[in-house]
Amino acid sequence: MDIELGTQLIDSLRVGLILLDHAGRVISWNGWMKRHSGLSLADVSSRRLDELFPEIVGTRLESSISDTLRFKLSSMLAPSLNPNVLPLYHNPGDRKLKQRMQQLIYISPLRHEHCACLIQIHDMTAAMRRERRLRAQSTQLIETSYQDALTGVGNRRRFDQDLAQRFRQAKDKQRPIAMLMIDVDSFKAYNDHFGHQGGDQCLIQVARALQEALRRDGDRVSRYGGEEFALLLAETDREAAVAIAERLRLAVEQLNIPHPAAPALGRVSVSIGISAMIPSEEQLCYILVAQADLALYSAKDAGRNRCMWYDPESGAARPLSARIADSERTGSSESHES
């Protein structure tokens, strides 16, 4: 193969090629490098890369070239770990915007009288963009899989994962954790009166009111099933959980959604069961759920539109008035407000 043909083939490659001599000076620089660096072979010939591009001094590229020249070692510099190593651009406009191409660089030793190192540079910009787009789509898909399609709050899968994770953390750190089980009162009667579309709109408004009434980052409502919602509260004792529950109950009541089938109040309301504990080593997370569930149905049986808390000493649910009386006797106060 003659030299002219070889030069044409090298210049037609869609990869940057640089040849260095034993002193690290440029002896070959193909057309791809000229297009994307703005420098011709005449501009770079017999000059070291760190002289052409002082910014590579102290980088892994410089050390990899040194290892190749001294010890005949090969290296690969991935764009995720070594972003935008060389000032290479797709077009002059990118240079003005300082938008360098993403580069995958291979550095290989050569056993030749004049050539000691081959550097290959691949443009990975499009591949990196695809990877970011796919990662974003994957993240969005995961988030969607944890979201209730109707109300937009977390779904049962989200709740189950949060329960396992936060309960384990509370157990490991010996910190309090609380749970609220929330049920829309007389929802079947509401659904029968307004139809399924009306019922769906009611659930959407209730879910939004519950979520917006929370004040602490990381607290999130999940739809437990049907007209039931659940809320886990890390680092929250019973006193604080009761205060939060009452605030959520009032937030729904103040929506003033008419409910002709609930003549006692005449508007949509919720009942809330509260449980709280510092988990012991032998306790399972579902004990927290069972206690909140018992308190919820005690609130429903007691007349709805109220909050009740589970008392571990008696094994029964108690109304807020009992909690207040206990607080007055012991002088306790809320230690945490979400």
What is the pLDDT at residue 332? 36
What is the pLDDT at residue 9? 81
Asked if residue 294 and residue 161 are part of one domain, the reply reads yes
pLDDT in tens, 305-327: 999 999 999 999 999 864 443 44
pLDDT in tens, 169-225: 999 999 999 999 999 999 999 999 999 999 999 999 999 999 999 999 989 999 999
Asked if residue 163 and residue 67 are part of one domain, the reply reads no
Asked if residue 50 is part of any domain, the answer here is yes
Asked if residue 285 and residue 216 are part of one domain, the reply reads yes
Output the pTM of the full model.
0.63
* pLDDT category of residue 331 using cuts at 50, 70 and 90: very low
CATH code for the domain in which residue 208 is found: 3.30.70.270
CATH code for the domain in which residue 120 is found: 3.30.450.20
Structural domain range at position 20? 3-129
* Residue where one domain finishes, among candidates 94, 129, 164: 129
Asked if residue 320 and residue 178 are part of one domain, the reply reads yes
Instruction: Give me 310's structure tokens.
Output: 């589970």
Give every CB contact of residue 250 below 8 A, 6+ residues apart in sequence. Answer: none
Asked if residue 291 and residue 158 are part of one domain, the reply reads yes
Asked if residue 137 is part of any domain, the answer here is no
Asked if residue 39 is part of any domain, the answer here is yes
What is the pLDDT at residue 2? 64
